[in-house]
Amino acid sequence: MKINDVILQSISKIVVFIILTLALYLFFAGHHAPGGGFIGGLVLASAFVLVLLSYDIESLQKGIPIDFKIIAATGALIVLISGFAPLLFGKLFLYQTFLSVHIPVYGELELSTVTFFELGVALTVLGVVMTIILSISKDVA
């Protein structure tokens, strides 16, 4: 049985980009406002899940030809590296630091090493959620 879901598909096309933007926003806002690596990763994943639900697994893999296992592994690796890297500078394990930079037009910009750590978290969450959902739905097909 072929379900006609033109409306879902058309809306998804637009909504996915909104979700992706939201995910990026949440990821970077995390330090001072609600958001962060975990939510960023989850929202990113939910954008892909929406594509998966409104189209099918083949379209998703054609559109985003990424191996999510590698994404997850990369994330875990980044988290580990950001844990051990401070040791090289004589600091404690998982030590985080930040730096405020003044950019002329933009204003005060805070650069923090925690962003790197959060990136690892986000990638792992995205990778693991997508790996699980994809492998289960592949099994369905």
Partner 1 sequence: MLSIFFAISLPFLAAFLLIIFAKQLTHVQRIGWFVLPIPILLFISFLFIIPDIASGQTFQDKLSWIPTFDIHFLTNIDGLSMIFGLLITGIGSLVIFYSIYYLSTEQAVVRFYIYLLLFMGSMLGVVFADHLMSLYVFWELTSISSFLLIAFWYQRKGSRDGAKKALLITVFGGLAMFIGFLMLHQISGTYSIREIIASIDTIKEHPLMPYIIIFILLGAFTKSAQFPFHIWLPGAMEAPTPVSAYLHSATMVKAGIYIVARFTPIFAYETIWFILVSTIGLTTLFWAALTAIRQVDLKALLAYSTVSQLGLIMTLLGVGALSLHPSVSIQSSLYTQAIVAALFHLVNHSTFKGALFMVIGIIDYRIGTRDLRRLGGLFAFMPLSFTIAVIGSFSMAGLPPFNGFLSKEMFFTAMLNVKQFNFFSVEGLASLFPIVAWIASLFTFIYCMLLIFETFFGPKMERTGGKFQEASFGMLIAPSILAILVVLIFFIPNVLHNYILRPAVYSIYPAITDDLIEPIQIWHGFNTEIMMTIGIIIVGLIIYYFKDQFMKIYTLFPYSLSFNNLYSNSLKWSDKGAKIVTQFYMTRFLRHYLAYIFIVFVVLLSSYMYYLNAFSFSLNGDEAMTPFVWIIIATIGVAGLTMIIVPSRLAIILVNGYIGFAIALLFVVFRAPDLALTQLVVETITTTLFLLCFYFLPKWSRERFKLDWSRFLIAISVGVTFTVVALSVKSGRLFDSIVHYFEDADILAGGSNIVNTILGDFRAFDTMLEVIVLFIAGIGVYTLIKYKTMKGARKNENK
Instruction: Note whether 125 binds partner 1 by CB under 8 A.
Output: yes
Of 14, 16, 15, 36, the closest CA to residue 25 belongs to: 36
From the list 118, 136, 130, 8, the residue with the least C-alpha distance to 69 is: 130
Name the one residue in this structure whose structure tokens are 């809306």. Answer: 11
89 binds partner 1 (CB under 8 A): no
**What character string, x for contact with partner 1 (CB under 8 A) and - otherwise, covers 64-83?**
-----x--xx-xx--xx--x
Residue 57 is a binding residue for partner 1 (CB under 8 A) = no
Contact flag: residue 129 with partner 1 (CB under 8 A): yes
- Residue 119 interacting with partner 1 (CB under 8 A): no
Select the residue interacting with partner 1 from 6, 26, 56, 63 (CB under 8 A): 26
Instruction: Tell me which amino acid residue 32 is.
Output: H
Alpha-carbon separation of residue 5 from 19, 48, 53, 73, 76 (angstroms): 20, 17, 10, 35, 37
Closest Cα to residue 120, out of 54, 27, 56, 47? 27
Which residues are at the interface with partner 1 (CB under 8 A)? 26, 30-39, 42-43, 45-46, 49, 53, 69, 72-73, 75-76, 79-80, 83, 93-94, 96-98, 110, 112, 114, 117-118, 120-121, 124-125, 127-129, 131-133, 135-140
